[in-house]
Amino acid sequence: MDFVVNIEVFATRFLGIFIEAVPFLLLGSLTSGLIESFVKSDDIVRLMPRNRLGAALGGAFLGLAFPVCECGVVPVTRRLFSKGLPVSMGLAFLLAAPFMNPIVFASTYIAFGFGTVFIGRFVITIVVAVTVALVIGIFAKPGTVLKPIAMAGGGAKHSHDDHDHDHDHELASLRDKLLHAVGVASDEFFEMGRFLILGSALAALMQTLVPQESLLALGTGNVLSVLFMQLLAYILSVCSTVDSFLALAFVNTFTTGSIISFLSFGPMVDIKSTLMFTGVFRRRIVLYLILLPFVMNLLAGVLINLALGY
């Protein structure tokens, strides 16, 4: 096929993913900016549950308070870590929040109604997020989870621990706080946008070069279909707010377990979030953050398939 033509197809596919995702990245960045301006670290420390299980469970539902999709969740998580959020709570939030929010509830409901897929996605998301958060929280030594920059709350200009308190005094008026939030959002957009752009480019490249038919041929099989849909979710990196509609396209040819695994695994981990993870977590933790959800979602999908009797 002609090189120029391939470039055109790539451009269309890349821009399609980018245009669909960028508003959600912007909303996530704004949320992150608002948290930076308005949430005091004291509040977080005061409100957080004392024990680890409580923290992980709380983190899994924290998305209801901070509605972000997967493009926006990493900057918000990083921001919350810099505000003193406990590690297991932040991890559960990171994994669960892209689904656990009103926008994604709505899109999943519109696509699938209130049935097996919706409930399956809900339950599996919580179980996986809490388990992974607990496992990493228990077995990782404190201080080996986050990159130093994520704990310090930003770049070289802000290395002091009392950074947040300084700001609370400086930014007295509401208007200043709002302007500050937008300024932070803008930096956040550039910082995280590069991962969205690189991930979209990778997904578009694969779609342009690998025949779709050969992907679709893998449709059935209790285990294979789940494996395949998780890999697809990983590669496509489509935003959690719209992935339900994408999954609809596979409903007839793929097993229900694989659809649910696609929907619960995809928002947790994909190409672009992997790239974003590397900006927040140390390398070993990034590996666990990919492998643990992958294996758990795989098991869940296969179990659902067996229970439904394919």
Partner 1 sequence: MSAGDNRIYWAKLLILLGMGLYLTQLIISGNLSNYINQRFGWLAYVGAGIFYLLALVSLWGRIKPSFHAHQHYRIGWDIVLIAAFPLALALLIPSRSLGIAAINGGISLRPVGVGNAATFARSPQDRNILDWLREYNRAAPAEFNDLPVDVIGFVYREPVHAADEFMVSRFAMSCCVADAFPIGMPARAEPIDEVPVGSWVRVQGRLHAANFAGELLPVIVVETLDLVDEPEQPYLYP
Binding residues for partner 1, rule: CB under 8 A, are 1-2, 5-9, 11-20, 22-24, 26-27, 30, 154-158, 170-171, 176, 179-180, 182-191, 193-194, 197-198, 201, 203-204, 207-214, 216, 236, 238, 242, 245-246, 248-253
Nearer to partner 1, 46 or 157 (CB): 157
Query: What's the min distance (Å) between Cβ of 203 and partner 1?
Result: 7
Q: What angle do CA 263, 239, 124 make, to 5 degrees?
A: 25
Q: Which CB atom, from 131 or from 274, has the smaller least distance to partner 1?
A: 274
Q: How far is the CB of 270 from partner 1 (least distance, A)?
A: 12
Q: Which long-range contacts (CB under 8 A, 24 or more apart) does 277-282 make?
A: 277/74, 279/74, 279/78, 279/147, 279/149, 279/150, 279/191, 279/192, 279/195, 280/74, 280/77, 280/78, 280/81, 280/146, 280/147, 280/150, 281/145, 281/146, 281/147, 281/150, 282/144, 282/145, 282/146, 282/147
Determine the straight-line distance between the first and last CA of the chain, rounded to whole angstroms.
40
Rounded to a whole number of angstroms, the minimum distance from the CB of residue 46 to partner 1 is 25
Q: State the nearest-atom distance from the C-beta of 170 to partner 1, in Å.
A: 6
Nearer to partner 1, 52 or 158 (CB): 158
Least Å from the CB of residue 221 to partner 1:
16
Which residue's CB is nearer to partner 1, number 245 or number 288? Answer: 245
